[in-house]
């Protein structure tokens, strides 16, 4: 698991020079599987119908795999690259600045604008998904973007930046010769630590969500959820104490005592919140 995560991290570093995949495929599948448990029968039927009607072959067609579709799509659609994160700066947190001043959405939402952040795009695709006038092809796109962006929004390093491409420029030493960048660590290592596969992780995390937590997490909106992720990045992810900026000669940073445990716990909580909130968004759209 760890070796795979490290390799995935290196690929991410090479292939994704600006902020990255946000949760790896496992993390996104965990969010989707948690959400599935909270869907109303009507929303669950709508989701199944959308999955069944979608001929796209970029990912497998099941819900967990479709949650990573937007990352696969952006390889040939670089105009969607900025939509996956909000680079809220640690030293002057300003969500509006990170979100390009919250530009108006094009119609259809899949047409942009390219300069928009995950908060603006999630809102735009959610509105479109809720609108019965949206045509079938655009509805499929809106569904797959919502499915993915709720996850991205909850990866702390997709809502924070230290002039280091959301941690992509921060090499971590994991012991021995193993290194991974901070962003990839939060995409994959913290998720892999939670269980052997997405379904197992989702079942275990879902079982621990109390009704009062769910109720509390359903409050707020994409903006407040982004700032919550930012707070986790500031308190936990960036507790590695790395210097701001990107330079090629950065020496790997050793993880502080207890960092891994705190990171795993924070990631588990973020995945739980994302699952509950994805269900909220889908239930809103389909009921």
152 touches Zn ion by CB under 5 A: yes
Q: Which CB sits closer to Zn ion, 80 or 242? A: 80
Q: Which residues contact residue 100 at a Cβ distance below 8 angstroms, ignoring those fewer than 6 apart?
A: 82, 113, 115, 116, 117, 120
Cβ-count burial 219-232 (b if 16+ within 10 Å, e if not)? eeebbebbbbbbeb
Closest approach of Zn ion to the CB of residue 152, in Å: 4
DSSP 8-state assignment for residue 175: S
Q: Which CB sits closer to Zn ion, 71 or 161? A: 71
22 touches Zn ion by CB under 5 A: yes
116 touches Zn ion by CB under 5 A: no
86 touches Zn ion by CB under 5 A: no
Q: Which CB sits closer to Zn ion, 82 or 152? A: 152
Cβ atoms of 177 and 257 within 8 Å: the answer is no
Closest approach of Zn ion to the CB of residue 74, in Å: 7
- Region binding Zn ion by CB under 5 A among candidate stretches 21-29, 32-40, 100-108, 180-188: 21-29
Task: Report the residue from 25, 36, 66, 84 that binds Zn ion according to the rule CB under 5 A.
Answer: 84
Closest approach of Zn ion to the CB of residue 139, in Å: 20
Token look-up 């499915």 returns: 147
Q: Which residues contact residue 272 at a Cβ distance below 8 angstroms, ignoring those fewer than 6 apart?
A: 34, 205, 206, 208, 209, 213, 217
Scanning residues 52 to 81, which ones bind Zn ion (CB under 5 A)? Answer: 71
By CB under 5 A, how many residues form the interface with Zn ion? 4
Strands of the sheet with 253-254, listed across from one edge: 179-181, 171-173, 253-254
Instruction: Read off φ and ψ for residue 89, nearest 5 degrees.
Output: -75, 135
Of all residues in the shown chain, the one whose CB is closest to Zn ion is 84
Site residues, Zn ion (CB under 5 A): 22, 71, 84, 152
């Amino acid at each position: 698991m760890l070796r795979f995560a490290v390799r995935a991290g290196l690929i991410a570093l090479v292939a994704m020079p600006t902020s990255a995949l946000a949760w790896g495929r496992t993390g996104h599948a965990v969010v989707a599987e948690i959400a599935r448990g909270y869907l109303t029968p009507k929303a669950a039927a709508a989701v199944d119908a959308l999955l069944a009607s979608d001929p796209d072959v970029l990912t497998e067609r099941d819900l967990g795999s479709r949650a990573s579709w937007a990352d696969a799509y952006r390889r040939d659609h670089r105009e969607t690259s900025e939509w996956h994160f909000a680079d809220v700066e640690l030293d002057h947190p300003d969500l509006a600045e990170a979100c390009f001043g919250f530009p108006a959405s094009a119609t259809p939402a899949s047409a942009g604008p390219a300069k928009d952040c995950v908060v603006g795009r999630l809102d735009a695709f959610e509105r479109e998904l809720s609108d019965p006038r949206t045509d079938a092809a655009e509805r499929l796109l809106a569904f797959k973007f919502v499915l993915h962006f709720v996850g991205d929004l909850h990866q702390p390093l997709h809502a924070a930046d230290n002039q280091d491409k959301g941690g992509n420029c921060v090499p971590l030493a994991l012991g021995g010769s193993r290194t991974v960048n901070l962003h990839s660590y939060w995409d994959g290592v913290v998720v892999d630590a939670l269980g052997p596969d997405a379904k197992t992780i989702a079942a275990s995390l879902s079982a621990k969500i109390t009704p009062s937590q769910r109720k509390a997490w359903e409050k707020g909106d994409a903006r407040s959820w982004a700032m919550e992720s930012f707070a986790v990045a500031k308190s936990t992810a960036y507790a590695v104490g790395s210097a701001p900026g990107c330079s090629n000669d950065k020496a790997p940073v050793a993880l502080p005592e207890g960092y891994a445990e705190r990171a795993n716990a924070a990631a588990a909580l973020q995945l739980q919140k994302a699952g509950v909130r994805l269900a909220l968004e889908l239930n809103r759209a389909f009921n």
